[in-house]
Chain A
């Protein structure tokens, strides 16, 4: 456990050092957030509420989704893949540590920097420009924290799993690109899932993707409450721990393949 925090701490500090890149990213994410907000507001036209979301909610939605881009690496993450392809992974295998926990700890540091530096700042920018909504009460704030934590774990497990393809294929980047585009659509990043026909939502909820982002958004906006909220968080947890277990299994297969076939 101590090791985990030491790795997280270092990763956090390391990601803090890229200040110019962070600022550039912040400007880009905010700008596109405002564009998305403007487009959606225009689409609303005279209508007050669409699929249970009013104008204030939809503006808040664009802010939220932009705010978690870095936290959840929505646009993709290829670090493990690169480490495998460049052979750096063998240096990690020579150390007495668990690979999954090691990368998890590193990603936690990265995600926390993303959440603080990018996420909070974007919400602040939004709060200054728009009249956005906020979670009401301790219970909803608590639920949001839980949802955010689970969404990170789930997103990491998914990204890790996708990256493990590198052990089998030298062209795993292509697989990665496809896998991350799917996330953008089915997680409700491009549009809230509520806007889609029922059957699309049904299909989406058979995948882990809505639990990565849509759940966070709906918890924040307060559109899921009561037993539905508990159910949503449970589903998130189930997917997250399920994928973590799958990661461990595939990882053990991957290392066995590596040590038998050679790097």
Chain B
């Protein structure tokens, strides 16, 4: 469905001078340097997939989404969606896609939600029957009826996001772009959004491309993730595989019944020990949790234990910060 090959977008940015007369020199010269917002990115997305598009701020996510929605023309490379080149046939193309940008609404600020939705029906030329069926279904799943007649400006963020999701899907798009759809929402609201996206994908086979900073979104929705940083695609695969590769060590927390002078144990690293409580780090590929517990209980008397798997949050943060994938991307 989405076919992207060697896609690049370079921006020319004005160079600012420093030091004396900087303002004057800025004014008289026009030196620029090139910023590679997206640099030779390639990937494919098949129909019905839900793909998470991850990367730190300024990595090139939004630029990619803008190219995919036809709002930006790439500097070079190949990009087709469903056979369309988005920015060439924008009007025809955008009629077949839906997009939700968490940061801003596509609805009309002063109009009641239902009025906005009806206007969209005319804009997208949705047949009356389809419109009514879809609206009824989305009303139920997204619980829209409590605020359908309120003007958009008076909605809470969670309500607005639900209304926006509904608006983006009324015309049965094949492809849905979600740009940070859960940003700023509380736990319940996030769950509701995720549930709806899952529902849409399962029932209608809508292809979804999702950017987010909330990895719980990705864990619950996306079997496949793409990671981009500094314009380069660094990873294409499942989150589980990423975790297995870069997840780091598991932690075992142990409470002893008495004060032992030495609690070191082979195969695990003692991170912390005080007040009868010790924390070990171990690599699951070398030693299983039960083996470690076995070794400990053979030597000491234990009151309580808990095992913590490394969380995705930490893994992804390490990938961003330590640039784990920059040297050899997995794609």
B106 close to A91 (CB less than 8 A): yes
Q: Which of B66, B87, B120, B122 contacts A262 (CB 8 A)?
A: B66
Q: Which of B11, B87, B99, B118 contacts A94 (CB 8 A)?
A: B99
Give Cα A17–Cα B115 distance, bound, in whole angstroms: 15
Residues of A within 8 A of B292 (CB): none
Residues of B within 8 A of A7 (CB): 119
B115 close to A259 (CB less than 8 A): no
**Known pairs A94-B94, A95-B94, A96-B94; A6 contacts B119 (CB<8 A):** yes
Give Cα A14–Cα B116 distance, bound, in whole angstroms: 12
Q: Contact mask A91-116 → B, CB, 8 Å, 1/0?
A: 10111111000000000000000000
A10 close to B115 (CB less than 8 A): yes
Residues of A within 8 A of B105 (CB): 91
Give Cα A262–Cα B63 distance, bound, in whole angstroms: 9
A262 close to B106 (CB less than 8 A): no
Say whether B123 faces chain A, with CB atoms less than 8 Å apart. yes
A3 close to B72 (CB less than 8 A): no
A96 close to B92 (CB less than 8 A): yes
Nearest residue, chain B, Cβ from A89:
B71
Q: Which of A6, A97, A259 contacts B71 (CB 8 A)?
A: A259
Say whether B124 faces chain A, with CB atoms less than 8 Å apart. yes
Interface residues of A in 1-45 (CB under 8 A from B): 2-3, 6-7, 10, 14, 17
Residues of B within 8 A of A261 (CB): 11
Q: Which of B63, B71, B87, B110 contacts A90 (CB 8 A)?
A: B71
Q: Contact mask A140-171 → B, CB, 8 Å, 1/0?
A: 00000000000000000000000000000000
- Number of B interface residues in the complex (CB < 8 A): 29
- Number of A interface residues in the complex (CB < 8 A): 23
Nearest residue, chain B, Cβ from A96:
B95
A94 close to B71 (CB less than 8 A): yes
Say whether B73 faces chain A, with CB atoms less than 8 Å apart. yes
* Cβ of B241 to closest chain A Cβ, rounded Å: 34
Residues of A within 8 A of B104 (CB): 87-88, 91
Give Cα A17–Cα B122 distance, bound, in whole angstroms: 23
Give Cα A20–Cα B123 distance, bound, in whole angstroms: 32
Say whether A260 faces chain B, with CB atoms less than 8 Å apart. yes
Residues of B within 8 A of A260 (CB): 72-73
Interface residues in chain B, defined as those with a beta carbon under 8 Å from any beta carbon in chain A: 11, 63, 66, 69-73, 87, 90-92, 94-95, 99, 101, 104-106, 108, 110-111, 115, 118-120, 122-124
**19 A/B residue pairs, CB under 8 Å, sorted by A:** A6-B119, A10-B108, A10-B111, A10-B119, A88-B104, A91-B101, A91-B104, A94-B69, A94-B70, A95-B106, A95-B123, A95-B124, A96-B91, A96-B92, A96-B123, A97-B123, A98-B91, A259-B72, A262-B66
Those 4 A-B pairs whose CB atoms lie nearest each other, nearest first: A96-B95, A3-B122, A91-B106, A259-B73
